[in-house]
Structure 1
Amino acid sequence: MDVTLLGTGDTTGTPTPGCDCDTCERAAELGVERSRFSVHVRNERTGESLLVDASPDFRQQFLARDVPLPDAAVVTHIHFDHLDGLGHVYRLLDRLPVYAADETDPQTDESVAETVRRRYDYLDQVEVLPRTPFEPIETCGFEVTLVPVDHPPLHCYGLAIEDPETGAKLSISGDTTYDIGEASRAVLDDPDLLLADGIVPAEYCEHHPAGGAHFDDDGLARTFGTKHMTVEGAQALGADLNADETRVVHVSHFLDADRAFDDPLAVDGERFEL
């Protein structure tokens, strides 16, 4: 399993357009980027590739990284920074199966799959395949399982990708707070690599109207506001799940420039062989 982090940033990415903060300037100096979230997973045995979330930066991500176009995709939720890259399928691919959860979201009265189908009904190449969370999907030679996580007010999903031949396992938290249910954690458990949502350090919770939540024994917030984990929460999730390695993704530019690119904070282009 060859994993390439195409996009490791939040909604605006880093550098953020029009921003002259120290972190954005440091990113430019270092020549690193955190574009909107997306992960490429290639199966060396079958030669097939799976895309997790379709970033609006799809075109530039695939131009910048030496990876093939996807044979299938999974969409975790309907926020634009995880979905709107599907428009790039036009004239690039003859067909793209897109797997998404089939549970109806009371906020939208649609499932993720139904929303994707409605928004991309003008593209014959996008074939939406609804799937039930916790029921494994076989695609690209992998076994993929969607699991509910906590990203209010919308339904959102994490996922585990496993190679049944080699035993390699990648887990992705999806956009979520630390409050992931036990059944979902059981599916995500014991990965070779965990990609965990961590938008800012815990100390930044004082700047959020909702503060922080899900505090550890030392009073450190593992959730920032109501939708995302802190960097510390992402690392704690990795420890909870016995991950061999945890990389923090969906990182914002609201970090101290001197620490913004330290481990375990991921940047675009990182590759892992599992």
Structure 2
Amino acid sequence: MQVTFLGTGTSSGVPMIGCTCEVCRSLDHRDQRLRVSVHVQVDGRSLVIDSGPDFRQQMLRAHVTHLDALLFTHEHKDHTAGLDDIRAFNFRQKTDMPVFGEPRVLAQLQQEFSYIFAEHKYPGVPRVRLHPIERDDVPFDVLGVPVQPLRAMHHKLPVLGYRIGGFCYLTDANHIGLETRELLRGADVIVLNALRHEQHISHFTLAQAINVLEDAAPKRAYLTHISHQLGRHQAVEADLPSWIRLAYDGLKVEV
């Protein structure tokens, strides 16, 4: 399995519009973060988790020319706004795009992208096939790839992460229950959000994320959904345990 980090930034991205802090002015490419998303190549399938507003740019930058399915963690715009750009894959592959998400999330997509689901469609609109994730306690099948949902809370909003083989991906969380913590154990790689050092209403801080990872004890871990408030990539990573790294845009990881 190969995982490519398409974006590792928070909802405003890094640099943030109008900000002149040292992170937003950094020339280190690892400090330049598009909205959070990953590409997973597994068992001959090409999967993307979340298509935020930078989706088109991410697909071009990562040279993704084929996409088999799109999975959503939740309905916030920084995770869904790029859905329209799956049209390119429709045109190339001449098929509808399978889209997986909880019923609540799919209903939100139908509202915000109503033209995609209209009875009489405008020529050239995206073509999708919706697959509701009805249960968070059993695996589901994505074109032959078993995927285990990972329930977490984003303040008061339930969100899903996903475990695919030995790879676990969880973003936009500030609480993980005991059931999900058990599902994280034994993973080869865990990706978890770590927004900043200071307390936040809906995201793990760096210290909180490290505590979760130490409890789960994977072989390796990567932090994502990072804001400019966390600090420079090089400086923050220098203080982390050797098995925990900051993810950055374009990073490829073999699992």
Tell me whether the two structures share a fold, i.e. TM-score over 0.5: yes
Aligned residue for 1:107?
A: none
1:90 and 1:68, CA in 2 relative to 1: closer, same or farther beyond 3 A?
closer
How far 1:153 moved relative to its partner?
3.0
Aligned residue for 1:4, secondary structure, equals strand
How far 1:30 moved relative to its partner?
1.6
1:116 and 1:237, CA in 2 relative to 1: closer, same or farther beyond 3 A?
same
Q: Distance in 2 between matches of 1:140 and 1:4?
A: 20
Q: Distance in 1 between matches of 2:169 and 2:142?
A: 17
**Is the 2:171–2:225 Cα contact (8 Å) retained in structure 1?**
no
What per-residue deviation string (whole Å, max 9, x for no partner) do you get for residues 166-197 of structure 1? xxx111122111x3111122222221111101
Q: Distance in 2 between matches of 1:261 and 1:17?
A: 24
Aligned residue for 1:85?
A: 82
1:237 and 1:20, CA in 2 relative to 1: closer, same or farther beyond 3 A?
same
Q: Distance in 1 between matches of 2:237 and 2:249?
A: 11
Q: Distance in 2 between matches of 1:120 and 1:128?
A: 13
How far 1:140 moved relative to its partner?
4.2
What per-residue deviation string (whole Å, max 9, x for no partner) do you get for residues 135-156 of structure 1? 2111144211223211123221
Aligned residue for 2:15?
A: 15
Q: Distance in 2 between matches of 1:90 and 1:269?
A: 23
Q: Distance in 2 between matches of 1:9 and 1:69?
A: 24
1:58 and 1:240, CA in 2 relative to 1: closer, same or farther beyond 3 A?
same
Q: Distance in 2 between matches of 1:21 and 1:30?
A: 14
Q: Distance in 1 between matches of 2:69 and 2:217?
A: 28
Match of 1:252 among 227, 231, 234: 227
Aligned residue for 2:217?
A: 242
Instruction: Identify, as 1 or 2, the structure richer in helix.
Output: 2
Aligned residue for 2:162?
A: 159
> Superposition pairs for residues 180-259 of structure 1, below 5 Å?
180-201=176-197, 205=198, 224-257=199-232, 259=235
- Return the TM-score normalized by structure 1: 0.79
Match of 2:107 among 106, 114, 135: 114
1:89 and 1:150, CA in 2 relative to 1: closer, same or farther beyond 3 A?
same
Q: Which runs of 4+ in 1 moved over 6 A?
A: none
Amino acid at match of 1:53: D
How far 1:65 moved relative to its partner?
1.3
- Show structure 1 runs of 5+ residues with no match: 103-110, 163-168, 206-223
- Return the TM-score normalized by structure 2: 0.85
Report the number of matched residues. 234
Aligned residue for 1:51, secondary structure, equals strand
What per-residue deviation string (whole Å, max 9, x for no partner) do you get for residues 6-37 of structure 1? 010001111122221111111xx123321101
How far 1:100 moved relative to its partner?
0.7
Aligned residue for 1:268?
A: 249
Amino acid at match of 2:20: D
The sequence identity of aligned pairs, in percent, is: 30
Aligned residue for 2:66?
A: 69
How far 1:66 moved relative to its partner?
2.9
Q: Distance in 2 between matches of 1:59 and 1:173?
A: 22
